[in-house]
């Protein structure tokens, strides 16, 4: 698969995105709890001034958690980039999330208010709302841990794949797996059978947990048949999936069933006492708690491997600092657990802080575009964490949809996943927050495990907000915007965002591929973690992340590599070659445009476009297929050595100058691509 280096920076590119929006906002109820950017920067600088300061900062947070065995060393940096946190310590994520909460008196506190998607049109209310207490979590996850251990011999270190919708069982299985010291690999339920198979193979899972199907926008989408197909693909490649556990969610009939392999979840736990207890297995800080596959610049997703101890501390501290969660809060993060945001800030962070959270199963606009606002109103949500793409989708509807509801409980609203455009920020700041909330765009990645750039009201003070910015790094971790040589960029000059200090929830490695970990993140800028994001600092030092610098797209906040799309394309019998680039989109952030060369004998007809999109749906999933724009061309622009020049295709899409084309093999391909693209548009 042809690959390109990160997009080159134009020398001294000026990114004055912030100028137009450079107004500082202090929400009225924070007037007496505000510090200036300068004051915050001075405070922050102290926490990262040297290794001792960094260690002291994170040790203070780690002290707040219970450890089965306390650590000997906060940070071992003797073998970079394999930083080790809380060396010698032992704990368990399920213990922190559940048992510890019960010990602190939260036994009967509601951990999750779960709301299913189905809607009762007559009563005008959701058909299912369940309140799940910490004690419920304890019981369910203990029973499951018992069943997994006794019936399927699950042991420490094993990786179990979870391919589930947003139902309570997702939480129970995650916690059961953690209890046993095993690890989960969660695959987003919108991924296809092939994408699932690829991840199961890499993780080597012998157990997959799924559901018969899921609800999405009022429709039933079958899930179990996808798993059957994935298992078949795995078998072809010589890997046997021994057990598929199936949660009955939608009541699909006539499911194909393999008696030897398939198990209903309700039968799996039947007969196991609700009082059964499974001791949480002590895990060393550096055991791994989960892997989560994410996209990079190659066709194969990377298994990002996270730790136990460092992950727990980083997620706990960041959730507290950024969401300022307290016992009386009702917190709601709208992310699917299939992504890192769901791992850290739907499940582990909020549970470790013992709060009540909302989990909503379905689509934001079902049965109407006011569903989310009704959830905030009905459950009294105080802290809300969502994605810019959802805000942009919902702000297209009349404001009346929002104003029907009392959203005055909200005090913090944050976004994640892609830059928030100031218009969307202003819309939600005004309509959801009545201009008196802390609103922050929290920057982080699957790899960072925890949020890195954001406002930190949990410190008791905030620096002024600015629409569209990511603000400053949280204390204890530092970042920089650097040029191609790794030197800091002056304010206003676009550069690469790098993280310059280790932080606790940082990924440990890429699963089974440490060399790729070094190459991908640590080889470009010596001693600094390369995020592959472009960013710019404004004159006050606020950071504005501008988007990916590599061939990774964010489609509605979902992270997909263009190489994955291209690999999928060439699996279609009509496709000879394909090059995928992102096009900015006012709602989705980015949509994939795929320049496609057909094999001889195929014509670029509308039916073929549909067929190719179906194919993409099958190979990757609807995330890519729904918005893909297919552009047929006879040739792709290539260098003389045969590399596809995506940079030129990007320029075509943006209607920008082509830049340096001396290495281009044949100018005709560019003209052709431009013409074909114009016609589609």
Residues that bind ligand WTA in the complex, under the rule CB under 6 A: 294, 339-341, 416-419, 441-446, 470, 531, 533, 545, 547-548, 554, 559
Smaller CB separation from ligand WTA, 481 or 598? 481
Q: How far apart are CA 113 and CA 324, in angstroms?
A: 20
Shortest gap between Cβ of 293 and ligand WTA (angstroms)? 10
Which tokens belong to 111? 């951990």
Q: How far apart are CA 511 and CA 489, in angstroms?
A: 33
Smaller CB separation from ligand WTA, 61 or 339? 339
Q: How far apart are CA 326 and CA 662, in angstroms?
A: 59
Q: How far apart are CA 6 and CA 124, in angstroms?
A: 51
Shortest gap between Cβ of 472 and ligand WTA (angstroms)? 13
Report the DSSP pairing between strands 159-163 and 243-247.
Answer: unpaired
Report the DSSP pairing between strands 262-264 and 243-247.
Answer: parallel
How many other CB atoms are found less than 10 A from the CB of residue 501? 23
Which tokens belong to 367? 């049965």
Smaller CB separation from ligand WTA, 379 or 392? 392
Q: How far apart are CA 368 and CA 217, in angstroms?
A: 10
Smaller CB separation from ligand WTA, 228 or 447? 447
For residue 94, give the nearest of 42, 171, 146 by alpha carbon.
171
Angle CA(615)–CA(303)–CA(391) in degrees, nearest 5? 65
Note whether 114 and 142 are within 8 A (CB).
no
Smaller CB separation from ligand WTA, 141 or 294? 294
Shortest gap between Cβ of 533 and ligand WTA (angstroms)? 5
**Is the previous residue joined to 367 through a cis bond, with omega within 30 degrees of 0?**
yes
Shortest gap between Cβ of 292 and ligand WTA (angstroms)? 9
Shortest gap between Cβ of 13 and ligand WTA (angstroms)? 17
Which tokens belong to 416? 């994640």
Smaller CB separation from ligand WTA, 445 or 608? 445
**Closest-CB residue for ligand WTA?**
446
Residues facing residue 412 across a β-bridge: 383, 438
Which residues have C-beta within 8 Å of that of residue 124, sequence separation ≥ 6? Answer: none
Smaller CB separation from ligand WTA, 340 or 351? 340
Shortest gap between Cβ of 131 and ligand WTA (angstroms)? 28
Shortest gap between Cβ of 332 and ligand WTA (angstroms)? 17
Entry field: residues in the chain: 681
Round to the nearest angstrom and report the end-to-end CA distance of the chain.
28
Residue ranges with strand state E in 361-409: 383-386
Which tokens belong to 304? 């990002």
Shortest gap between Cβ of 339 and ligand WTA (angstroms)? 6
Shortest gap between Cβ of 554 and ligand WTA (angstroms)? 6
Q: How far apart are CA 559 and CA 573, in angstroms?
A: 26
Smaller CB separation from ligand WTA, 543 or 649? 543
For residue 248, give the nearest of 263, 264, 259 by alpha carbon.
264
Smaller CB separation from ligand WTA, 320 or 554? 554
Note whether 438 and 455 are within 8 A (CB).
yes
Smaller CB separation from ligand WTA, 172 or 316? 316
Shortest gap between Cβ of 481 and ligand WTA (angstroms)? 13
Smaller CB separation from ligand WTA, 99 or 533? 533
Shortest gap between Cβ of 389 and ligand WTA (angstroms)? 11
* Residue written as token pair 């939600």: 428
């Amino acid at each position: 698969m042809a690959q390109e280096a990160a997009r080159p920076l134009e020398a001294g590119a000026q990114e004055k995105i912030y100028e137009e929006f450079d107004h500082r906002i202090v929400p009225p109820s924070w007037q007496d709890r505000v510090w200036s950017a300068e004051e915050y920067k001075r405070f922050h600088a102290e926490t990262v001034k040297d290794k001792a300061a960094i260690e002291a900062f994170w040790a203070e947070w780690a002290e707040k958690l219970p450890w089965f065995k306390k650590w000997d060393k906060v940070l071992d940096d003797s073998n970079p980039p394999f930083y080790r946190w809380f060396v010698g310590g032992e704990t368990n994520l399920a213990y922190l999330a559940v048992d510890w909460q019960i010990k602190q008196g939260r036994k009967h506190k509601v951990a999750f208010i779960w709301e299913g998607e189905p809607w009762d049109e007559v009563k005008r209310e959701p058909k299912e709302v369940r309140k799940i207490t910490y004690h419920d979590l304890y019981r369910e996850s203990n029973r499951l841990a018992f069943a997994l251990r006794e019936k399927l011999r699950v042991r420490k270190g094993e990786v179990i794949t979870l391919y589930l919708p947003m139902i309570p069982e997702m939480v129970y299985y995650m916690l059961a797996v953690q209890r046993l010291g095993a690890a989960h690999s969660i695959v987003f339920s919108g991924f296809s059978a092939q994408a699932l198979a690829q991840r199961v193979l890499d993780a080597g899972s012998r157990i997959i947990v799924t559901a018969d199907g899921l609800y999405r926008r009022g429709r039933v989408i079958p899930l179990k048949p996808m798993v059957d197909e994935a298992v078949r693909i795995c078998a072809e490649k010589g890997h046997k999936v021994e057990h598929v556990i199936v949660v009955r969610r939608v009541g699909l009939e006539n499911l194909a069933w393999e008696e030897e392999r398939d198990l209903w979840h309700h039968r799996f736990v039947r007969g196991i006492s609700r009082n059964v207890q499974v001791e949480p297995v002590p895990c060393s800080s550096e055991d791994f708690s989960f892997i989560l596959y994410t996209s990079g610049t190659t066709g194969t997703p990377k298994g990002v491997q996270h730790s136990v101890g460092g992950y727990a501390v980083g997620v706990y501290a960041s959730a507290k600092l950024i969401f300022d969660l307290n016992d009386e809060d009702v917190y709601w993060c709208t992310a699917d657990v299939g992504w890192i945001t769901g791992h850290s800030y739907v499940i582990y962070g909020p549970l470790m802080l013992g709060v009540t959270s909302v989990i909503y199963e379905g689509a934001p606009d079902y049965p109407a575009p006011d569903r989310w606002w009704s959830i905030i109103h009905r459950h009294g949500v105080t802290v809300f964490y969502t994605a810019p793409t959802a805000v942009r989708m919902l702000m297209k509807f009349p404001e009346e949809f929002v104003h029907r509801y009392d959203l005055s409980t909200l005090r913090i609203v944050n976004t994640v996943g892609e830059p928030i455009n100031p218009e969307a920020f202003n819309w939600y700041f005004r309509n959801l927050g009545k201009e008196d909330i802390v609103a922050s765009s929290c920057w982080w990645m699957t790899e960072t495990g925890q949020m890195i750039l954001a406002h930190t009201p949990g410190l008791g003070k905030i620096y002024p907000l600015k629409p569209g910015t990511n603000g400053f790094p949280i204390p204890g971790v530092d970042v920089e915007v650097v040029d191609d040589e790794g030197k800091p960029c002056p304010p206003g000059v676009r550069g690469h965002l790098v993280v310059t200090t280790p932080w606790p929830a940082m990924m440990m490695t890429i699963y089974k591929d440490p060399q790729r970990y070094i190459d991908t993140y640590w080889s470009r800028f010596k001693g600094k973690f390369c995020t592959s994001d472009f960013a710019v600092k404004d004159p006050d030092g606020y950071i504005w992340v501008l988007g990916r610098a590599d061939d990774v797209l964010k489609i509605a906040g979902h992270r997909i590599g263009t190489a994955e799309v291209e690999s999928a394309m060439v699996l279609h019998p009509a496709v000879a070659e394909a090059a995928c680039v992102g096009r900015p989109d006012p709602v989705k952030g980015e949509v994939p445009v795929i320049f496609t060369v057909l094999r001889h004998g195929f014509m670029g007809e509308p039916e073929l476009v549909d067929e190719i999109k179906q194919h993409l749906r099958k190979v990757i999933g609807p995330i890519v297929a729904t918005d893909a724009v297919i552009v047929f061309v006879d040739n792709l622009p290539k260098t003389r050595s045969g590399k596809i020049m995506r940079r030129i295709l990007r320029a075509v899409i943006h209607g920008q100058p082509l830049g340096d084309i001396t290495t281009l093999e044949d100018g005709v391909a560019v003209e052709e691509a431009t013409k074909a693209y114009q016609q589609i548009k």
